[in-house]
Structure 1
């Protein structure tokens, strides 16, 4: 806690808002580790064990964020805050990226934020997944502009605000979340309020509060992959890569993002990722659970599989405009249909990978 406050004070001396972003990132890491809330482990438990409770917690998080966004939009005339709403066009590139992300999520045994939170457990496996995630996200930025320019069919994602207004869009999203909850209840025979682990719901509420605070500070939904992609670009530039060879990074915006160390450190997405990683590891150290070598040794094929999974996640996530956090939750809280479509396609990729390869070992609680 003392080190986190010291870092926040150093950031506040340059940019006060950066200290808030860092602190919220630390809070997210702490909440994910303490509660065991996650995405990849929830999907695995749903498919393998017919246990819907982790997904119930995810739906609770989505509902809370939808309500939070509606309140922020309602208060816009008073606060002057104009949040960025996400609406990704539906294209073959988007669908392929989401499917690749789902495969990578199963292979790496964690999603984007789950990989950062899983550093709390230590070990080479999570490190391999994290390195693959950074490399994959960076490679995605190199190829996404060319793929987006291909003459492929695309449709604009329907946005509820434009079609039904704020009240109608809010009602529609909450009704859809309730319908999914009902279907999962009927399919599994388990009720949401009879969860064996109430911590998951507490974690969902904590993450919702922190993500809402992040929305108020940055004026846009929480994102994970962009900070990792930017970190990969800075690392590649330090190793001799020429940004002029990239369509995106040679643009004025790309050049500004690579202008120097400050452009990296004070980027909001990078600060959130760093804070989440620090909060997760610090929480595990405080609990006496952190081990540099991890809880168990992993053979080389498993390490390669997790690294390749991270690579697929990073690359596919950039093509699909995000991960579970930015594409799914960000799309849903922006009242855009692309969030639900992303989730459905990513789950197809996850289930396909899971069916082809049985899980090797227990899933991490913070995945």
Structure 2
């Protein structure tokens, strides 16, 4: 996948059915697609979090989102894609903005100026890109459609079924399979590197943080027990399994400035600061060949007052035909670098 995304995020705004959030502490329910990427957290950390040049004291009045992001603990270098991101921070000048845009163009191998600033205060800009191929290409559905539950309507899909599923056993891990609950989670390995995609179909809507913790536990425990070859609880895709995944092309952007309300106080300054800009965008494409992902985040803070074959296999069905989670997750990372709750057909190819 040498061709980059057709990057439309800065002109694509979140609709009533799509929301981009700054932190994964969010409820997920059918009817709405919710996107979180680590880009905004990386920007936040450089201005208000542990990477800030000035120790942060408090926000007044208290802001729950600021508190959650201050308490977020992660290893940035393990979570974000290797050699697939950048972050710049400092005085909000034209030079810093141009530096960020130049890094973005180098990262995506194309044109574009997704970052801008007001020219005062402090700013942080973050860009993420990761394209990867699946170890083995799946089969597209052609004219056939997958019926989205429970609202109906067909979406394009790809996958594998029957005897051919055996050929994908080394690249598709079954992290969890609970047929009585209609719940399962699968991990898809990339052709090279440690990037993976994880799909988790819960029984019903679930908080994103809880889903991440469940999947992280399953991922960590995969392979620790003896394999149950060809049985219902085998930990790899096997012959007879039926896998169907919607094709995805999702582009969204969100202005989160209002979410960071309140006066920010730093320990070395008596002057209150305000968040003047907090914008983020995400673009995700998934098809039979692999994954394409991009995300940006921009945050500015300003002083207050400024500008503001031997055994028959047990056949299993893995149809992602109702609301599900998608995570982009490096193999050994504690957190994903992106999480999407597909609570609607928004972003699925029709």
TM-score, normalised with respect to structure 2:
0.23
Structure ID, larger Rg: 2
Richer in strand (by share): 2
Larger relative contact order (CA 8 Å, sep ≥ 6): 1
Q: Which has the higher helix share?
A: 1
